[in-house]
Structure 1
Amino acid sequence: MFAPICEVLIGWIGMGDVGDDVGATLTFLGLVIALAYIAARIMLLVLAFNSLRSLPPGAYETVSWTNYILHL
């Protein structure tokens, strides 16, 4: 959640008058943060779809909505 904020801050600091070493370090740090963010998003997506493979038996039961919402 904090990665996009870090990317914006690194870009904002990098636009200033910084030396070549600091600029290269900020670029590397921004690349590492971006790759970690992308990897985390992909892992969350895979885990979400993976959890659909082993649903509990109650997930397949038909819900009788008239018991919960009386005006239906």
Structure 2
Amino acid sequence: MSTIFGGIHCIAWFFTFPTYQEQVLWHISAVAIILVPWLSMLLFFLNDILDKALIRSMFILIPPPLYITGRLILLILMFTTLRNLPPDTYQAVSWTSLVPHL
């Protein structure tokens, strides 16, 4: 599910962002949200093959902070991007002209 969630955020890959740094942060966070669950599964399966204590510590220490950081960055960027909206956003819609019977 988290891979699908990250994939949805990749829809904004070619959107315009206020700054280049925000665009790069968005890209890195979306890719991190996609790849971290796969990294967790890989570490889980490597648990049987390699040294269990090392893999167990990597499984606990690496993926959760990466995923949480990616989600927080996306959440912050969603709100900070609202400061630079296109001018058409502020136009009032005449809803009565869209309803045929009025």
> What is the count of residue pairs matched by the alignment?
67
* Amino acid paired to 2:86: P
Q: 1:71 to 1:23 in 2, by over 3 A?
A: farther
Question: Which of the pair is proportionally richer in helix?
Answer: 2
Percent sequence identity over matched residues?
34
The structure whose Rg is larger is 1
**CA drift at 1:47:** 0.9
| 1:10-49 → structure 2 map (5 Å cutoff) | 10=44, 21-49=51-79
Please give the root-mean-square deviation of Cα atoms over the aligned residues, in Å: 2.9
> TM-score, normalising length from structure 1?
0.63
Q: 1:27 to 1:54 in 2, by over 3 A?
A: same
1:63 corresponds in structure 2 to: 93
Q: Please, which runs of 5 or more residues in structure 1 have no aligned partner?
A: none
Q: 1:26 to 1:63 in 2, by over 3 A?
A: same
> TM-score, normalising length from structure 2?
0.48
Q: Please, which runs of 5 or more residues in structure 2 have no aligned partner?
A: 4-33
